[in-house]
Structure formats: C-alpha cells, structure tokens
Amino acid sequence: MHTMNHLQVDGLICPRCGVGTLSPARVVETLRVGADAVEVAVDANVCSYCSEHWFDPPAQALIDDAIRRLRDGDVSHLTHIGELYRAS
Ligand SMILES: [Zn+2]
C-alpha cells in the first residue's frame, strides 16, 4: 500500500516498477488489523504492469480511518461479512 500526492496520475509511469502506467479504478482493499480485517472500497490508481495500487490523500484517509476504527473496536458502522480462519 502506497500513498501518492498527485491527484492527476492517469498515464503516469508506475514509481514501483517503472514499466506500467497508472489508471484510475475503484478497488476493494482488505486491511488487516491484528487478527481482524476490514474491507474498504476506494478510488485508486492501478499500475497496468505490476498491479500496485496507489492512493491519493482522500483515499488514503478513508483507509486510515477504517484501520483506526477497527483498531478502536468501533465496528457499529461496519457490515459483518465473515470470519477469518487459518488452516494449519
Ligand atoms: Zn507498476
């Protein structure tokens, strides 16, 4: 997960791989907080080559807020969609 300060990045070369170009897309990020996770749909800039997701400050703020609220146990605004298991 990376932040990017440019709001207009369409067609920009990806800073991670230096190969792909970035295009805006709606993505669903799954954010882990300890053993828990929260999904948040945000606008991102997605690399055509390495698929890295880059977030502008408003999108990053949504992600940070979702992580903070889950960390604080503030789940009243969230929809419970499943449980997380580990096979071992
Ligand atoms: Zn890339």
- How far does residue 75's CA lie from ligand 1's centre (Å)? 34
Q: What pLDDT is stored for residue 13 in this prediction?
A: 95
pLDDT at 29: 96
The CATH number given to whatever domain includes residue 62 is 3.10.20
Which range of residues forms the domain containing residue 53? 2-71
Between the CA of 47 and the centroid of ligand 1 the distance, in Å, is 5
The rounded Å distance from CA 29 to ligand 1 centre is 17
**11: which 2 tokens?**
């067609």
In a domain, 86, yes or no: no
Q: Does residue 38 belong to any structural domain of this protein?
A: yes
| Dihedral sign computed on CA atoms, order 54, 56, 59, 61 | positive
The answer to whether position 87 is within a domain reads: no
The pLDDT value recorded for residue 34 is 92
Averages of pLDDT over each 10 residues, the chain, 88 residues: 60 94 95 94 96 95 95 92 92
pTM: 0.80
Tell the burial category of 1 from Cβ atoms under 10 Å away from its Cβ (0-12, 13-18, 19+): exposed
The reply to whether 32 falls in a domain is yes
Residue 54 alpha carbon to ligand 1 centre in Å:
10
pLDDT for 23: 94
